[in-house]
Structure 1
Amino acid sequence: MATWYCMQGCGACCNLTPEDRPELAEYLTPEELTLYLSLVGEDGWCINYNHGDRLCQIYPDRPSFCRVKPDNFARIFAIAPAEFDEFASHCCEEQIEGVYGPRSGELKSYQQALPAVAESI
């Protein structure tokens, strides 16, 4: 079983390109969708993402849909807490692959760290 974790210096989730997420209106409220779309820069990346250090500039105040937590995933995706780790890990792998490529260092790093994270729990 995979255990979800956020890989520092990745930032793949900050690529908000709406065309890559056609189902946004299915799981975000109208208010959240408006906020989401307002965060998308011309390059598809969140306007609050710093490419230099690969960090969110509003991390403590980021929107709820940016917070990968069991309760948010239950609300947004109807994922039971017991399924959270597996689902979130899979989402991260898909997003990292889509943003950086299937042979990227980011994807390899994420996949290599998953077993170590699971063992530490």
Structure 2
Amino acid sequence: MILSHFLAVSPPGFTVRSPENQRQLKLRSNLSPQLNKKQSKKSKASTRNKSSSSSSLGFTTVKKEPVWQCVKSCGACCKLDKGPSFPSPDEIFDDPSDLELFKSLIGPEGWCVHFETSTRTCSIYEDRPYFCRVEPDIFEQLYGIEKKKFNKEACSSCVDTIKAIYGSQSKELDNFNHAIRGKPEG
């Protein structure tokens, strides 16, 4: 009688098994490894391969984490004066010479003085300051982001910046999202 009460109120998709059914399931689970060792090994390997390469969400799959990468002809990060919703240079830099250098790079429209608007490229890219580099060590030094969280934080930072500069429906955001998820640009 108590068991029937639990069956009546159990959530959809869940069933409460009687003690007899539980014993039968336990016996079956104890026998199956002995009878199907080869099949079991193949099944486990197959499941492992599917879950590690899958990028969809579900009970048996693992979400593929995005991998940060710079997208050509974006330049959102070169907009140095981003406004009050972003940390100010004073909040980011501890070293006064870094703060001074950063402020000296801000042009009249808020863009870096080395940003070529016609090509959306940096004219000093190879020699740009360390704080213009999106790298694990730099993120740890400037923002306290652990290296294991670099990809997630760098991607999130770029998404926020691109949305603020170009908009949430922009081609730049589309290109970035395709790039970090390993999909070809469309």
For normalisation by structure 1, the TM-score amounts to 0.90
1:111 positional shift: 1.0
Q: 1:45 aligns to what?
A: 111
* Separation of aligned partners in 2, 1:34 and 1:14: 17
Higher relative CO (Cα under 8 Å, sequence separation at least 6) belongs to 1
Q: How does 1:76-115 map to 2 (within 5 A)?
A: 76-115=142-181
2-structure distance, mates of 1:53, 1:14:
13
1:27 aligns with 2:92: yes
RMSD: 1.4
1:85/1:102 Cα in 2 relative to 1: closer, same or farther (>3 Å)? same
Q: CA deviation at 1:33?
A: 1.2
Cα-to-partner distance string for 1:47-102 (whole Å, 9 max, x where unaligned): 00001111000011111110111111110011111000100010011111110011
The percent of aligned pairs where both chains have the same amino acid is 38
Alignment partners' CA distance in 1, 2:178 and 2:68: 13
Q: In the alignment, does 2:75 pair up with 1:14?
A: no
Hey, what's the Cα distance between the residues in 2 that align with 1:72 and 1:50? 24
Match of 2:137 in 1: 71
Tell me the alpha carbon deviations over residues 21-65 of structure 1, each in whole angstroms, 9 at most, x when there is no partner. Answer: 343212212211111111000000000000111100001111111
Counterpart code for 1:16: L
Distance 2:119 2:81 in 1: 20
- Following TM superposition, by how much is the alpha carbon of 1:113 offset from its aligned partner in structure 2, in angstroms? 2.1
- Deviation of the 1:114 alpha carbon: 1.7
Bigger-Rg structure (1/2): 2
Structure 2 unaligned regions, length at least 5: 1-64
Provide the rounded CA distance (Å) in 2 between the counterparts of 1:112 and 1:36: 30
User: Aligned AA for 2:136?
Assistant: P
Amino acid at match of 2:77: C
Q: Distance in 1 between matches of 2:121 and 2:129?
A: 15
